[in-house]
A = this chain, B = another copy of it.
Amino acid sequence: MYLASDNTGPIHPQIMEALTEANQGYALPYGNDPFNHRAVTAIRELFEAPQAEVFFVPTGTSGNALALSTLCQPYQSVLCTPVAHIHEDECGAPEFYGVGKTYLVGEGDLMDPDALAVLLRELAEGGVHTAQPGAVSITSVTERGQVYEIDRIQSLATIAHSAGLPLHLDGARFANAAAALECTPAEMSWQAGVDVVTFGGTKSGCMGVEAVIFFNSDRARGFAPRRKRAGHLFSKNRFLAAQMLGYVKNDLWRTLGAAANARGQYLAEAMCMDMRIQWPYAPRANMLFPKLPRSVLQNLATSGVAFNNWGNRDIGSPDEMLLTRFVCDWSIPYQDLDQFLAVLRTA
């Protein structure tokens, strides 16, 4: 049972079909293919943003780092939360791509507007001695499974814009967040003040593709050569574009986001009955972050369930509660979930 991440599942058939369709005959390389044009148009329509600049890249890390380095000067910082993927899980990709530093806003996974305002004031005092902020970056679904309400995004955007900073949304799980909010992509992004979105496909049924969307095309200046020199401009770019076409067609993206969320909610509801479990984060989408006793996790691990936890599972008090992550992708069968729940009950 694969509950470790939503990148363990298969490619959705509709996306495989799109790849097969794109494989007919010849096409110009490096984005000069008709599929790229069609996919850009499809993204603009989906986001109701006809002027947006849209680029396709193969991974979330490349999308985030290219977007942020395009937004910032190399002597500037990006502000994010302490658990942000760009800070904790990308091996320093933003700094490598040219962001000066990451500075952390408050605690927790949902950025607090007040904490952002305070940090902005403190950094401004630093003058040339501190890497002045160049952008604010948030993630939804967050790295702890929560979803930003639209009004919180608006508050953060207002503060960022007041300081002259763009707001970036790491949308590796944009589909899950939008499905949870039951909102349109536009409502969750530019209408709430987001300037740049990394719109993820990889974790939601694609082989490997993300769309980086700049709602103000001026901000996109330099993205194209940055993508090239990073080795992320695919010569056979048509196969990135085709995935995105398949993902957007007939709102497959939303269907898959909702399917994954439904499985997450199914698990969460069943596990809520289990009094051994603590819930520091309320599950909103397809990821659960409960705390469980070490002894339970040890038993789970030997039952063949793939999952993540923080802290040493093997050594320590059996009663210690460890933060744990269970992720459902769109494809995982409900009988697998039932089987997991059965294992958990006896673990």
Contact = CB atoms under 8 A, between A and B. Distances in A.
Given A59-B234, A208-B235, A92 B101 contact: yes
Secondary structure of the A side of the interface?
A: loop
A281 interface: no
Contacts of A66: 231
A25 B10 contact: yes
A224 interface: yes
A122 to B, nearest CB: 8
A231 B57 contact: yes
Contacts of A62: 230-232
Contacts of A106: none
Interface in A23-59: 23-30, 57-59
A134 to B, nearest CB: 11
Contacts of A128: 30, 91, 224-225, 228, 233
Nearest to A13: B23
Contacts of A23: 10-11, 16
Nearest to A8: B26
Nearest to A125: B310
Interface residues of A, number: 75
B58 A58 contact: yes
B230 A230 contact: yes
A171 B224 CA distance: 25
Contacts of A90: 129, 228-229, 231
Contacts of A215: none
A225 B132 contact: yes
Contacts of A230: 61-62, 93, 96, 230-231
A9 B102 CA distance: 34
Interface string A128-150: 11111000000000000000000
B73 A222 contact: yes
A74 interface: yes
B231 A61 contact: yes
A129 B20 contact: no
Contacts of A24: 10
Given A74-B98, A203-B235, A235-B208, A228 B26 contact: no
A182 interface: no
A65 B231 contact: yes
Contact of A235 (B7, B29, B92): B7
Interface in A219-275: 222, 224-226, 228-236, 239
Interface string A109-127: 0000000000001100110
